Amino acid sequence: MSFKNESLISTAELGKAIKRRREELGMSLRDVADVTEVSASTLSRIENGTGRPDADNIARLTKWLDMPVDRLIRQDEKGVEPVIYYPHEATPDIIDAHLRADKNLSAETANALSELFRVAYQQFSKPGK
């Protein structure tokens, strides 16, 4: 994989994570901007996949997401994606990392399974237990 004209950071993954967390918390882009000190317009571009955040914004956003920045690093040249997560991360986020790293699944299948698990987990998990 050539990285000459390509960012090492998967902005698409970051955008998905921001949008998911923002919607889970019922926050607007402006609300997230106020908390993270990343402009609402930058957040919108990241969510839409058209923005390329700088290192400071990546750090602010991964801190707000409580996500390891390593999760956003693109696969290496061999197509191997490390499974990186923190033990305090939500179970659906950990499952997502494992599914994305599975070489037997296409990206589309991994995303579909991740969303399926996320919905089922929300439906069947019991808060506070």
Query: Which one-letter DSSP state was computed for residue 78?
Result: T
The domains of the chain are located at 1-74, 76-129
What is the number of helices (H) and of strands (E) in the chain? 6, 0
**Fold (CATH) for 1-74:** 434 Repressor (Amino-terminal Domain) (1.10.260)
What's the pLDDT score for residue 122?
87
Report the distance separating Cα 68 and Cα 64, nearest Å. Answer: 11
Q: Could you read off the pLDDT tens digit of each residue along the chain, which spans 129 residues?
A: 344 445 677 888 889 889 988 988 999 999 999 999 999 999 999 999 888 889 899 999 999 998 888 777 765 555 555 566 666 778 888 888 888 878 888 889 988 999 999 899 988 887 655
Report the distance separating Cα 94 and Cα 98, nearest Å. Answer: 6
pTM for the structure as a whole: 0.60
What's the pLDDT score for residue 82?
58
Non-local CB neighbours of 118 within 8 Å, separated by 6+ positions? 92, 95, 96
